[in-house]
Structure 1
Amino acid sequence: MDKFVPHMIDAEESFETHLLGDVKAGFPSPAEDIHEKLDLVRLLVKHKASTFFFRVSGVSMVDVNMDEGDIIIVDRAIEPYNLCKAVCYIDGEYTVKCVEIHKDKIYLLPANENNNTYRAIEVTQDNDFLIWGVVTYVIKKM
């Protein structure tokens, strides 16, 4: 299973920078004047006390753009929903998966079509299981 090391958001933590404006992905157009100040914590974090950062380790979720080394933002205050991407605790380990919720069953689904070593995990009553938090953002290095 993929492993994670969380980083909690400090209530006083903030990162403010300048939002220069929109940038076109078509023909070049230089960014003009500063539009506004942009606080990345305010933009990316709704619930500071229940939001954590994790670094992705493993490749089981590459088809949903969670690659090895990416940072995911996980909010424990968001109610899990069918097919959400979530960090789950199962039998002593943390993993990030797509969560398929049925009336009487839960499955943890990998998202890597090119690697058949990752299989769906059916959660049973025998498992020590918790949907720990819902993934809200993925931060990638280019």
Structure 2
Amino acid sequence: MVKIRSYEDFQTVPVVDMDEMTPYLQVEASDGKSFPLPGEEYNFIRLDLSLALIRHPAHTFFLRVSQETLGSEGFLPGHIAIVDRQATPRHRDIIAAYFEGSFILCRLHMQEEQISIQTDEEIIALEPDMEFAIWGVVKDLLIPR
């Protein structure tokens, strides 16, 4: 029988200071089983990775990469980009954008009055009549196992 675990089981991970580490340190498992050293106590804090990686939760989404438009930058199909819609796009940021009818990941170039986007294949100077909208700034990349 498969045990179904809730999302909350994966929200926090123990964090231990490096100077407190020992080869015998044990972390209590979610089923309550562990074998800590008798008489020794370690102070564990819980680190919620969403708090560590996401600055604006209400304006952030995860985007599974499906194209290799920025493969040279490490954005490969199956990877997950963390996109912040509230972040202000800056020169050389990697952005999620709607461009000419499709969504892409690209690098933003802003020089004086000219804005362009860069993919692995080309640099495109944006013209006023082009369909273009920035959906957010990529803040981090998660690489699934």
TM-score, normalised via structure 2 length: 0.72
Change (3 A) 1:21 1:138: farther
| Aligned match of 1:44 | 53
Alignment of 1:84 onto 2:93: yes
Q: Any gaps of 5 or more consecutive residues in structure 2?
A: 1-9, 28-43
Alignment of 1:19 onto 2:15: yes
Aligned residue pair count: 118
| Aligned match of 1:139 | 142
Alignment of 1:60 onto 2:56: no
- For 2:110, the aligned partner's letter is I
Structure 1 segments (4+ residues) deviating >3 Å: 29-35
* Amino-acid identity (%): 26
Q: Distance in 1 between matches of 2:68 and 2:25?
A: 39
- In the alignment, which of 120, 123, 127 is matched to residue 120 of structure 1? 123
C-alpha root-mean-square deviation of aligned residues, in Å? Answer: 2.3
Stretch of structure 1 that moved more, 125-134 or 32-41: 32-41
SS in 2 for 1:67: coil
Larger radius of gyration: 2
Change (3 A) 1:126 1:20: same
Q: Any gaps of 5 or more consecutive residues in structure 1?
A: 1-13, 23-28, 112-117
- In the alignment, which of 96, 107, 121 is matched to residue 105 of structure 2? 96
| Higher relative helix content | 2
TM-score, normalised via structure 1 length: 0.73
Q: Distance in 1 between matches of 2:135 and 2:16?
A: 36
